[in-house]
Each structure stands twice: as C-alpha cells, then as structure tokens.
Amino acid sequence: MKKIIENIKALFRKMYDVGLWTSKLDVVFFVGVIVLISTILMNIVGFLFVSFFTGFRVTFILNDMQPMQKGLFWFFILHTGFVTAVITAVFVQLFERIIFDPVRDIKVELSNLMRSELSDYFVSGKMSKPFRDPDSSITWEDQVRYFVDAASVEKYMDELTGCFNRKYFQYKLTSYMELQKLSNGVSSGASVKKYGADCYAVFMIDIDHFKWINDDYGHATGDVVLRSVGKLLRDVVGDNGVVVRNGGEEFVIVYCAGYPFDFSTVAEKINQAFRDNIRVHSSGSLKGRDVTCSIGFVSYPFYPGAEGVLTLENHVDLADMAMYASKESGRDMWHELVSDRAPTDKVDMVLYASNAEYGIKRGYYHLKNKHDKN
C-alpha cells in the first residue's frame, strides 16, 4: 500500500513538473486528465442547465430520463470525448514542435560533444560532477546545463595531466564543498559526526626533486612524469574525490569517505603508488631514477565550526604546510596537520594558515606522520 501511495505521489509530482516530461505519453496523460475533468464538469453543468429549463426531470439515471433527455445526455458524453481528444491532440503537437523536439535535439548534440576521455573523468565521481546525472529525474533545464558544462569540459581540465585545473577548483569544487557543508549539517559546528556521513580531507602532493628531472633529463621527460602522475592520482582517488593540478609539480586532492575514516591510508597508498609506478628511465649516459612525492593533508573542515572562517583555499594552505614538513623531514612521506583547538579572536589568520610554527607554538594544531599515528 505504501508503495502504491508513493507511486501515485510520484505520478502527480511528474504531472505538476512539466520539466520532467520525457515523451508524448506524459503530455497526453497530463493534458488529457485536465481537459477531461474540465470538460466533464462543464458538460454536467450544461446538462443540468438544459434539463432544468426544458422542463425535464433533473437526473443522471438513464431509465428515469425521457427520450429527448437521453439524447441530450449522450450528446454531452460524446462531446466530452471529442473535446478531450481534440484539445489533447493540439496540445501534444504544440508541445512536440515547440518544446520537446528542440530540447531533444539540443541534448543529443551536446551529448555527442561531451564524449571524450576527459569528460568521462569529469562526470564519473560525485565530486567531479558539476551537476547531477543527466539521465536521472531532473528537469530539461538542469539536463541542458549539465550537458553544456560537460561539453565544454576542456576549460576545467589540465591538458597535460588530465586532471582538473585551478578554474575547476575555484568555480566548481569550492561551490560543491560549501553545499556539502550545509547538506551534512557541518554548518551547525557540531563536533559529533553521524556514522557513515560524508567526511573530507584536502591533500597537497608535490613531486620530489622535479626540478632536477627537468634539468637533467629535459622538459619532455618532465612532461611524461607529470602525465604519469596525473593518471596515477586519478586511479588512486577514483570516484572518491577529485585531483586538481595546482601548478607546476603540485597537485591538490579533495577526498571523500564515510565517517569514521583514516585518511592517512590514502596518503600512504599514494606514497607507495609513486614508489611502485613512477620512474624516469635511463637516457643515454643518464641512469634512471625512482620518483617519489611528499604529501600533506588536513581534515575538511579543519575543526568544528571552521565554516565561515576557513575557505577551501585556506585548507589547501594548511595542507601545504604539512606537505613542507614532509619535504623537510626527508621527502617520500606524509604529514597530517591536526587541529587541537579553534583559533581565538586575536589569532592572525594569515599566519595561522601559512606559518606552521606560529600555529604549533600557540597550540592550535600539531603535525603527525605514520610513526606516531597510533
């Protein structure tokens, strides 16, 4: 019974929202029902009015009607069916020619434009989707917006690495994260998270000694390394997050998992993936060398109540400080910057987000790595 009620609600919701119509049947059903009900009501009034003024007994029972009144009754019945059919057919044709056909053609053209390897990455994971799945129950307007953005995916992509670029970070990812904070109730500043709820971390990854690779092996080899790193990071992250080339040899990852989750496992996985897969091969007299990376990451939001205080860019800066700790500690490792308490009103937020020594000395946060993660 509950399922039947839900189906009826869904049907009436679809009837009400014209943007969800996908075929002629939707138009026939909606317009037909409206016209039929309207025509029946008008013909009932007409039948009663004519019966009253012609002296016939006002009734809807055929056996109680006089022959002429029966003829009048069947006339209104046929009139209801005829009017319903004609008006519905007219509306269906208008809908088909003015709305449905043009929208369908636009969607097909845009869908063909967006078919590429880059756009596959762009629409695969939930964080990389600028909009919802175009095949889901959303309006034509949302679908067209989705296709327009996906068809122009290249403006959000770094051509060399196949990862997202800073434009995506600024215009899409930042907005997405703000919406997620609201939808997950993060904006309330609650320190207790619901089990299984989305939780996030921001990673900064820097390729170790990349300048030496460019200087010793040439920029062409450096480009090969960047391409390999871009693919590796996308494979490691999968649909759980997005990879952004921050510039040069730096990459930013925003990763999503169900609470509770130990994000250090992701950092360790990335470090190991570099050791196993990224290598500069021998070239002439130059011997090959392994390529490693230094990683820093922070939880997002950094501390309960950080919304409205720290932007996504601030979180990247905090992760960057943790990454530099990895650099200074010998590279090929990760560090996490962990919040100990929220900053006070007197804190210098510029130094807070850019100077690790400032925040650590004042007890706002501390660094940890795999040696003390337990």
pLDDT tens, 89-99? 888 888 778 77
Give the integer Cα–Cα distance in Å for 293 and 272. 9
Give the integer Cα–Cα distance in Å for 19 and 145. 13
At 105 the pLDDT is 77
| Choice among 126-135, 151-160, 218-227, 260-269 with the minimum mean pLDDT | 126-135
43 pLDDT band (50/70/90 cuts)?
A: confident
**Whose structure tokens read 């010793």?**
216
The stretches of the chain forming alpha helices (DSSP H) are 2-16, 24-53, 67-94, 101-113, 117-124, 140-151, 166-168, 174-183, 210-217, 219-237, 264-277, 312-328, 349-352, 356-361
The stretch 251-270 carries a mean pLDDT of 95
Compute the residue count for the chain.
Answer: 374
Task: Indicate the average pLDDT of the chain.
Answer: 83
At 103 the pLDDT is 72
pLDDT tens digits, 192-222: 567 888 899 999 999 999 999 999 999 999 9
Which residues have C-beta within 8 Å of that of residue 149, sequence separation ≥ 6?
Answer: 130, 131
For the chain, what percent of residues have pLDDT higher than 70?
Answer: 79
23 pLDDT band (50/70/90 cuts)?
A: low
* pLDDT of residue 186 exceeding 50: no
Beta bridge partner(s), residue 293: 207
pLDDT tens digits, 314-364: 999 999 999 999 999 999 999 999 999 998 878 888 899 999 999 999 999
* pLDDT of residue 365 exceeding 90: yes
Give start-end residues of each CATH 3.30.70.270 domain in the chain. Answer: 157-368
| 148 class by beta-carbon count within 10 Å (0-12 exposed, 13-18 middle, 19+ buried) | middle
Give the integer Cα–Cα distance in Å for 70 and 12. 35
Assign a CATH topology to domain 157-368.
Alpha-Beta Plaits (3.30.70)
**Whose structure tokens read 């992509």?**
157
pLDDT tens digits, 262-321: 999 999 999 999 999 999 988 778 898 999 999 999 999 999 888 678 899 999 999 999
At 187 the pLDDT is 42
For the chain, what percent of residues have pLDDT higher than 90?
Answer: 39
* pLDDT of residue 24 exceeding 80: no
Give the integer Cα–Cα distance in Å for 105 and 102. 5
**3-state secondary structure (DSSP) of residue 301:** coil
188 pLDDT band (50/70/90 cuts)?
A: very low
Q: How many CB atoms lie within 10 A of CB 289?
A: 15
* pLDDT of residue 253 exceeding 80: yes
pLDDT greater at residue 117 or residue 87? 87
Which residues have C-beta within 8 Å of that of residue 87, sequence separation ≥ 6?
Answer: 31, 35
The stretch 109-122 carries a mean pLDDT of 60
